[in-house]
A and B are shown apart, each in its own frame.
Chain A
């Protein structure tokens, strides 16, 4: 097992950020603490410096507060108000949304590859749907689906899918078009039917592109799921916790939830990475993508040195 050359610099950067956090925290919190003391609020401390780490709604929470808040929100693990269950619900919605998006994305991508007319008629709107702040539609879509009896996790998954289908469509279309013209010619000489060409050549060729698209789409779907939870009456999920604590102005809890959802996002993308490694083993060994990266690195070194 080789240790990544990035490890030491990454650790140094993390330490610098941590070291800078303390003075920043004091700098941001002391004026607030002073004001609280001046107005005579009941605080368990005398000086502004002491109070800076104990404010109820700090500008930047102290590490101690974060740690306590983390303990409060994480445990007990199976409580409906704790992060683990809510994160699992959001993750479930995200993954279902991603799968829905994959189905829709494949449909559009096959249409676009098979027919130029289809592409001409729909592609501008698929692209335009991305320049549109899709998220704006989420609150309305949720209310609408609720009116027709679609409730619970399904509307959130649908919104997640709606936000995630675009990168998948584009990625799969690129992948379906990616086979070597020689390979396509070979299929033709074998008298392969349309379907055989897709099954034996185009679909396998699109798998690497699919995973690249999945990584982008996973984050998009997570955002969609969280926004959907925020803008509806939901009983579970990270979004519901965010909305609740935002209303209750519990700053420390909001920080904890923010950090946990960041971890959730990273884990979900890592899941896609792991699946990619599992399902496309030929890319790992042949290292098709590794070579250009290495070249770029070499050329860079030369340029710097």
Chain B
């Protein structure tokens, strides 16, 4: 940022001041309205609006400060502030309009519910994530990897199978779920199969691209070394495919969670995050629904983060990380 810019922005203190004032206004209102049961007056609603504006404006100024940092924690600050601003504003607005908790629960209420029912939700999460999503994910990804290896080796298989794999990616998996649940039963294996099928096709397509999009020069080099086919795969094609494989693995984490949760919408054995969400949404227990969503999100993000971390460890040599 140039000095001229800095002069126009008047330094960052104004941004932090606006941010602090906005948050102060919103928090003050929440505290003042904690035990009230009637809607706030229009002046107070105006104050909430002003507080929100202050936070957003302040954020827009303050965020400039973090644009060029390379430290991930510091770089995350604007995003964290955004989330905080949204949560606090939602809390204030819901309290101001006295929206019934059966419709939209306030964030504070969701958090306290999350603490209350954490044991049940953890059990649900074990069934959904470990038994269904993780098992299906591992099976689907390994099968996809094997299939891609075969397809990349035999031209006939490539021509016969790859177009179907591309076709399959445009099929809505939800339509598959009820059939599979009926076929295999309502226990966890049916959901694991759904997950395996969902992650299988992206894995095949991505790995295949990685195995085949090899630079012709490297192939020539391998040939001049008289490398056998196994060696060619070991030293050239598989390392080349690694970034593609990890892309599919990262994509798969999301698909696995969605597959498991959607599968449970069509029948579960009384456990599971998807089942809980379906049941509680049906009887307006939205605080539990939100708690389940928070649990699912945290697990989903952690899982994604784990795969991304592995990717960094194993493909640190790749261009995209240098």
A136 touches B219 (CB 8 A): no
Which of B159, B213, B303 is close to A6, meaning CB atoms less than 8 Å apart? B159
Which of A5, A121, A222 is close to B172, meaning CB atoms less than 8 Å apart? A222
- How many residues does chain A have at the interface if contact means C-beta atoms less than 8 Å apart? 70
Interface string of A123-145 (1 = CB under 8 A from B): 11100101111111101100110
Supposing A133-B300, A136-B293, A257-B175 touch, asked if A218 and B59 sit within 8 A by C-beta, the answer is no
Cβ of A262 to closest chain B Cβ, rounded Å: 4
Q: How large is the interface on B (under 10, 10 to 19, 20 to 34, 35 or more residues)?
A: 35 or more
Cβ of B43 to closest chain A Cβ, rounded Å: 25
Bound: A118/B76 CA distance, A: 12
Interface string of B281-310 (1 = CB under 8 A from A): 110101001101100110011011000000
A-facing residues in B133-190 (Cβ within 8 Å): 152-153, 155-157, 159-164, 167, 169-176, 178-179, 181-183
A116 within 8 A of B: yes
Bound: A219/B78 CA distance, A: 32
Which of A139, A239, A266, A302 is close to B277, meaning CB atoms less than 8 Å apart? A139
Bound: A48/B216 CA distance, A: 58
Bound: A269/B169 CA distance, A: 10
Most buried by B among A120, A134, A139: A120
Contact partners of A215 in chain B: CB under 8 A: 170
Cβ of A226 to closest chain B Cβ, rounded Å: 5
Contact partners of A124 in chain B: CB under 8 A: 76, 79
Cβ-closest chain A residue relative to B279: A139
Cβ of A30 to closest chain B Cβ, rounded Å: 15
Contact partners of B36 in chain A: CB under 8 A: none
Bound: A47/B7 CA distance, A: 90
Cβ-closest chain A residue relative to B85: A121
Bound: A59/B281 CA distance, A: 31
Among A151-159, A246-254, A283-291, which stretch is in contact with chain B? A246-254
Supposing A128-B301, A133-B261 touch, asked if A254 and B172 sit within 8 A by C-beta, the answer is no
Contact partners of B303 in chain A: CB under 8 A: 131
Bound: A300/B237 CA distance, A: 10
A265 within 8 A of B: yes
Among A8-16, A73-81, A169-177, A196-204, which stretch is in contact with chain B? A8-16
B254 touches A300 (CB 8 A): no
Cβ-closest chain B residue relative to A141: B281
Which of B79, B162, B237, B262 is close to A135, meaning CB atoms less than 8 Å apart? B262
A143 touches B284 (CB 8 A): yes
Contact partners of A251 in chain B: CB under 8 A: 179, 182-183
Bound: A148/B112 CA distance, A: 26
B297 touches A135 (CB 8 A): no
Cβ-closest chain A residue relative to B56: A121
Which of A9, A139, A230, A264 is close to B159, meaning CB atoms less than 8 Å apart? A9
B257 within 8 A of A: yes
Contact partners of B169 in chain A: CB under 8 A: 219
Supposing A132-B297, A132-B301, A133-B300 touch, asked if A268 and B254 sit within 8 A by C-beta, the answer is no
Contact partners of B173 in chain A: CB under 8 A: 223
22 A–B contacts, CB within 8 A, in A order: A9-B159, A10-B159, A120-B63, A120-B67, A121-B59, A122-B79, A123-B79, A125-B79, A128-B297, A132-B257, A133-B300, A136-B292, A137-B293, A139-B277, A231-B278, A242-B175, A246-B266, A251-B183, A266-B170, A296-B212, A299-B214, A300-B214
Instruction: Give the top 7 A-B pairs by smallest Cβ distance, nearest first.
Output: A9-B160, A117-B63, A9-B159, A13-B160, A139-B281, A261-B175, A132-B297
